[in-house]
Structure 1
Amino acid sequence: MTRPMKEKLRNYFKAMPPIFTCATALNPYVNVAGVEFLIEKITNNLDLEKEDVHFSTNAKADFNRYLSNMFDVYLSRYESKVDAAISNDDKKDTMVSFYNMLRKNNIKIARGELERYITTNFISNVSRQDFENFDILAWWKDNEFRFPTLATMARDLLTVQASTVALESAFSFSGRTISLRRTRLDPTLVEMCICLKDHLDATDRIQHTSNLEGEMSMETDIQGEEDEELDYDEEPNNSSDDEM
């Protein structure tokens, strides 16, 4: 059983979109060095270098190239937005001029921000508990001024779901929200219940352990009683079909 599973993992890892590795690198505790370590580790575990001895080296080179190219694209957009904001500003007082000068200097600093981000050690004084409970979006919000272009990348990349598990769980949970005792909820209330449940789980950090697939015991008992009633109702129809 493990052989076909391992073969599927090999095929998946070979064709994995680079957006996943770039998004992982935007975790400051992982960074580029961490992604390169994971690439090498997965390559060894899946024995990918038996087919291509340079697989790990090429994969790491591709990852760095994709990340650098993506950063350049975002940097060009960031520059154009700042230039447009400055050109559309009709005020000429001293404070506005000073503000525009700072924004221009911020662009010059941003050109080297990818290198500064890669070479900075963010995890040297981080405990294991802080590492496990790390709030990456809050970190980027706090460090947006230090890494403006990378922060924009983080907002776009980290909001993309890596899998459909969360969506499937949301649909499953919505199906149980509209239960046998709550069949008249309108769509707005259903959405509020689902979002409230997710918010409470996120506050307690139990989203990964919250049971979204099992049914409530009361609903199971009621469903069992209804199934018995349905079987009872179908008996006369079955008998009439046999007579015909």
Structure 2
Amino acid sequence: MPGVSGTNESDNSGDSKDAKSSSSVSVTEGNVKVREYDPKKDLRALGQWICSNQDPPKYFENVDYIQSIGVFNRLFKPTFNEVEGECMEVYERMKVETKKVLRNFDGQISLCVDVLTDNNDFGQCSSNLGQHYRDYLCISAHFIDEKWKLRKWVLYFCTLSVSGQSDDLLKKCEDRGIFRSLEDWGIENKISTLTMGNDKFCNEVAEYVKRYIQVKKELRRNSQLFRVYCCGDLFREMVQDAFEKIEDIVHKVRRVYTFTTEYPMWFLKMANLQDALKLWSIGKLSSKDVIDSHDVPSPEEWNKVEGVCKAVESIHKVSGALFEPEIEVTANVYLYHLHELREMLTRMSIGSEGFNRSIVEGMLGKVDEYWDHMFLLLAISAALDPRFKMRYIEFVCSKVEGRDGNSQVPAVLEAIRKQFAEYVIRFPEKGNCASYSHSKGQSDPPVRANHTFTVLQDYQQFIQSNHHPAKISELDIYLDQPVLPWSQDFNALAWWRSAAAKYPTLSRMARDFLAIPVSLSTCGEAYYTLSRPADEHMICLKPDLMNALMCARSWPYRR
């Protein structure tokens, strides 16, 4: 019998493994039952593959690329319209399951609303799938699941503005997805914080969303902890302001030194300027021939470049710790790194003068402004790190002179206790309090028999009837324990997962606070001098497919 291909996929499968299970089976002889080739099964498998892998969608316009995956029948040659339709069906099935997970989730969800930009020129993509626009709205939910995995699930992705339109952006945010998306997902009563950029537009949107959420639920500390400002945006603003101060000098540097790359990342610009400084310091950019041929920077101007680079280098060190680790950073470490940056800039300010000192003081002003907005949230999160607890809060506050200092410590502790008390009410746990009393089998010492025996017996009964063993909460037990030794590789989520049995209620609080995204930027995005870029492979797609793939590829629960 000639070889025939068929598929063996289960209808309930849903990820890339399922796609492999639908690969063709060649049968040449024997008693093996031969099934006819069913293109619908391969189409379902391909839709699941696209929704669960990161391959650029336009690749699947090419039948040869589909065949190169090696799991589909050689006769399978779908059109992209068929593939698009199947992806939408897969997305809808996955969305049903994802909704169940979020609606049944018993913790708090932190919301991110990010505005991404297509930094390319307007026009047609290289693909023929549609026209791309400039600004895009991305709504995502951040939480730590029951397995203590940090999740970032995209809920909605859409075009925010189109070239030539002048609609009010604030109204477009409402109309194009934020409120409608929250209602669709049914999670309005779970939203605890909102992370957005730091500009005026984002502040207006955040206030708009806060009022909407307050109608649905009571926010923490009367919404004091609701608005989260993006730490990555803070760093970018600090760097951009510093570089703008020496923009004319940088133009002169470029006349005598060719930058190795023009990619819009601020650490690359810093590296190029540092390389130019090294050449200047050994005389290669200050020879008579160079000076006679070009309008080169003066020694004073080179000194300004050096001062800016040193200040930017301090930001780069902290950014490297926050945005380039192998494990995902949680909210507990931001206070520590911001304090480290503040200390570096303070020392630099003391050792500088004139222009360079003004640059550093400008950076310190931005850090202090961010500190004022975010201190309470970052301090609570840091206290939930067993390496820090309240001891680190006390240490930090003792170092911050003239900015409330130690008076902030009681406020932080009070906020932590109030938050914990709310969790105790919401999640009553057995053993939530421990009592200091006699252990089992231990009895009171015998009372000597004498002429006052009756009086002493009455007194003993009085003591017992009025004695209430001192109770101590999980929070007090946790705070009373010594802090853990410092470890750079410490994983707060792993620690709390193992400590959840000992601190059942406090671990719930930790799970919600550690999940708060303090920065919209991750990894390379944190170093862009322009707005955060949208995925160029996604924005070429039709709006519905763009949204479907942005969402589905972020969800781990698939059917």
Q: What's the TM-score once normalised by structure 2's chain length?
A: 0.25
User: Structure 1 residue 75: deviation in Å?
Assistant: 1.5
| Rounded Cα–Cα distance in structure 2 between residues aligned with 1:195 and 1:39 | 40
Tell me, which stretches of 5 or more residues in structure 2 are unaligned?
A: 1-358, 435-470
**Given the alignment of the two structures, is residue 175 of structure 1 paired with residue 500 of structure 2, yes or no?**
no
Q: Which residue matches 2:383? A: 25
Q: Which residue matches 1:149? A: 505
Q: Which residue matches 1:56? A: 405
Where does 1:115-154 land on structure 2 (aligned, <5 Å)? 115-124=476-485, 131-154=487-510
Where does 1:95-114 land on structure 2 (aligned, <5 Å)? 103=430, 106-109=431-434, 111-114=472-475
| Rounded Cα–Cα distance in structure 2 between residues aligned with 1:21 and 1:61 | 12
169-178 or 59-68, which moves further after superposition?
Answer: 169-178
Structure of greater relative contact order (alpha carbons < 8 Å, 6+ residues apart) = 2
Change (3 A) 1:157 1:120: same
Where does 1:1-244 land on structure 2 (aligned, <5 Å)? 1-41=359-399, 43=400, 48-49=401-402, 55-79=404-428, 103=430, 106-109=431-434, 111-124=472-485, 131-166=487-522, 169=525, 172=532, 174-178=534-538, 187-191=547-551
Q: Which residue matches 1:240? A: none
| Rounded Cα–Cα distance in structure 1 between residues aligned with 2:506 and 2:489 | 22
Cα distance per residue 1:171-222 (max 9 Å; x no partner)? 9565144388xx68754445566679xxxxxxxxxxxxxxxxxxxxxxxxxx
Change (3 A) 1:13 1:134: same
Of the two, which has the highest radius of gyration? 2
Aligned residues of 1:22 and 1:63 also touching (Cα < 8 A): yes
User: Structure 1 residue 77: deviation in Å?
Assistant: 1.8
User: Structure 1 residue 117: deviation in Å?
Assistant: 0.8
Cα distance per residue 1:107-135 (max 9 Å; x no partner)? 333952112111212424xxx6xx21222
Tell me, which stretches of 5 or more residues in structure 1 are unaligned?
A: 83-102, 197-244
| Rounded Cα–Cα distance in structure 2 between residues aligned with 1:192 and 1:157 | 25
Runs of 4+ in 1 over 4 A off after TM superposition: 170-174, 183-196
User: Structure 1 residue 2: deviation in Å?
Assistant: 1.9
| Rounded Cα–Cα distance in structure 2 between residues aligned with 1:78 and 1:139 | 21
Aligned partner of 1:9: which letter? Answer: V
Q: Which has the higher helix share?
A: 1
| Rounded Cα–Cα distance in structure 1 between residues aligned with 2:522 and 2:412 | 26
Percent sequence identity is 21
Aligned partner of 1:175: which letter? Answer: D
Change (3 A) 1:148 1:8: same
Q: Which residue matches 1:214? A: none
| Rounded Cα–Cα distance in structure 2 between residues aligned with 1:151 and 1:36 | 22
SS in 2 for 1:132: coil
**Number of matched residues?**
156
Q: Which has the higher strand share?
A: 2
User: Structure 1 residue 161: deviation in Å?
Assistant: 0.6
Change (3 A) 1:35 1:188: same
SS in 2 for 1:145: coil
Cα RMSD after superposing both structures: 3.3
Q: Which residue matches 2:81? A: none
Change (3 A) 1:77 1:179: closer
| Rounded Cα–Cα distance in structure 2 between residues aligned with 1:25 and 1:40 | 16
Change (3 A) 1:188 1:35: same
User: Structure 1 residue 64: deviation in Å?
Assistant: 1.3
